[in-house]
Structure 1
């Protein structure tokens, strides 16, 4: 029987690189498809440069592949049209290409926020319905894409969606990078609210591992650590590992932060015909920082045999050490 040939779409991204490393380390044949292929692992069978919004390029990339893991997505802070172009239309191209090229399995990186509308999610599982009205374009487009991936499941193509929550780790260009930047700018003293809400964060290697288990066992589950922490303990622990002390001593009340977020949203809307603004505080972000949002991962444990391969403590240490090597943090 021929060995599986994996295609990781977004293989040079934050999660994609972790996936490729784990697959290659266990001896799999792996190719990638990405807009940029700089720094691609030399062990890859192919590093294909291309655009997920081009159906021909996606179809060609899927040729002779048996398993596709689709991790590509724009980072937060982009225009609405970009999310729908990449996350929705791009994912449709992937589904079509998999069916055209005889791919047997498609694993899709979704988001734990496809069911988050600003209300608390306490020990939530896969039965929680999608939001009737989403609070941002990223998660709305992810929900649409996830639905289409799961609806494409058939005898020819087995599909699965993984919903990571709060991915962090070395080389993270979003969450942990923003925390490192806040420390460098002297903003580590401030937090919003009273830090009484629980939140799931997930080390990147654990998310990659959940995807691989899904590809092996092709079931639908959530890829998270199952160890919620208080929301502001995430930046606090990273900043502490980077040498900062007495963090989050200045507290901005949620009501004040929400008012600022509402004003920022209004300014962004007024400016939208002329420029795309990216304010730090928005109504969605304040709701996100204030809500309980943690998940029941029993289905992933039962069906995938999932359990974290890197502890949260170790994940924080590895991430902090990486950013210290990049010149962030307090010198010892």
Structure 2
């Protein structure tokens, strides 16, 4: 049964022009929230407005704009962040991801809104075995460090009485994603090369499962004051993942492998040449993490406390993602 507009809660979503934020907005709309989106670039707001979402123009770094966007909201889903673009200096990550989070938390506290904050499993760095929320912080770059800073701010505001939950997602993929497009494309056209042994773990999370979990954290009473890892049903080795993607794009799995050291050296060189000019390097060390950093995580806490239950198995999610790439002409 549809709720009358006067009874529909209003939720602000930051980062709704991005991949995960788009799905969070959709999930909220399905649950009859009025969706308001904070959009930095007005030129990108058109598709959101067409879906009936309210548009608030502003930058996360602008405290006044964030406060205006938050007014009248019962919930804030803070998904927006600056993500791993090597052309930016470390201070920009701090300004957007930590400073912007402080603005969101402050506005929510003043307006009485409940917050769900997006962090990353990257705060744990390169993990051994299967990590849970108790694994130590071990950030390896400016992005991950800024997310550690943002989590500390969340804890501070929770102590001040803000109703807030934090989640750490892993390997988000699905239709509309372009982060994993290169992997699918190179496997499809037989140009993919494995660097290293490929025996590290990789953990993917289908975006629709994640969005449902994020909304759940905004509604379940047991989520308040807690931090959760949200992942897909299972992790796999990198070799197994590549084989599964090959199956999704209907080609034989790639064979052979190359040594890691030359790749890492080339990444350092690209960063050194490009960064002074503000150019995004074609290869950088963070991209090499795909071949070097192990990622396997447990979502048991989220299952136990709030009933988080991802439904989309890896092969199905990869197939649905591949179908979307084919439909968009991104791979042929």
Please give the TM-score of this superposition, normalised by the length of structure 1. Answer: 0.87
Name the residue aligned to 1:90: 100
How much does 1:108 deviate? 0.8
Gaps of 5+ in 1: none
CA distance in 2, matches of 1:41, 1:314: 31
Counterparts of residues 182-193 of structure 1 (less than 5 Å):
182-183=186-187, 186-188=190-192, 190-193=193-196
- Confirm whether residue 250 of structure 1 aligns to residue 260 of structure 2: no
- Measured after TM superposition, the shift of residue 136 of structure 1 is 1.4
Is 1:110 matched with 2:114?
A: no
In structure 2, the residue matched to 1:73 is: 81
Q: Mark the runs of 5 or more structure 2 residues left unpaired by the alignment.
A: 1-5
**Number of equivalences:** 318
Q: Which residue of 2 aligns with 1:100?
A: 110
8 Å CA contact 2:61–2:99 kept in 1: the answer is yes
* Cα deviation 1:125-170 (Å, max 9, x = unaligned): 1111111xx3211111111112212221146421111100000011
- The CA deviation at 1:327 is 1.4
Structure 2 match to 1:310: 312
2:214 match:
211
Contact 1:205 1:309 in 2 (8 A): no
Contact 1:226/1:296, CA 8 A, preserved across alignment: no
Match of residue 292 from structure 1? 294
Displacement of 1:309: 2.8
Structure-2 residue corresponding to 1:260: 263
Are 1:37 and 2:49 counterparts?
no
CA distance 1:315–1:260, shift in 2 (3 Å): closer
Q: Which residue of 2 aligns with 1:163?
A: 168
Quickly say closer, same or farther: Cα 1:181–1:29, change in 2 above 3 A: same
Contact 2:187–2:245 (CA under 8 A) maintained in structure 1? no
Which residue of 26, 30, 35 corresponds with 1:25?
30
**Aligned partners of 2:231 and 2:298 also within 8 Å:** no
Q: How does 1:136-175 map to 2 (within 5 A)?
A: 136-154=141-159, 156-174=161-179
Tell me if the contact between 2:270 and 2:284 (Cα under 8 Å) persists in the aligned partners.
no
Contact 2:94 2:146 in 1 (8 A): yes
**Does the CA contact (< 8 Å) of 2:118 and 2:166 recur in 1?**
yes
Give a deviation string over 1:167-214, Cα, whole Å, max 9, x none: 00111121x2222443476523x1112222222110111111111111
Aligned-residue RMSD, C-alpha? 2.3
Change (3 A) 1:37 1:235: farther
Residues 112 and 164, structure 1, Cα contact 8 Å, conserved in 2: yes
**How far 1:315 sits from its partner (Å)?**
1.1
SS at match of 1:199: strand
- Normalising by structure 2, we get a TM-score of 0.87
Q: Which residue of 1 aligns with 2:181?
A: 177
Distance change in 2, residues 1:12/1:285 (3 Å)? closer
Give 1:38 deviation, angstroms. Answer: 2.7
Aligned to 2:9: 4
2:276 aligns with one of 273, 277, 283? 273
> How far has the Cα of 1:60 moved from its partner?
0.3
Q: CA deviation at 1:271?
A: 5.1
Tell me how far 1:65 sits from its aligned partner. Answer: 0.3
Aligned counterpart, 1:225: 232
Is 264-273 or 201-210 further displaced after alignment? 264-273
Structure 2 residue aligned with 1:200: 203
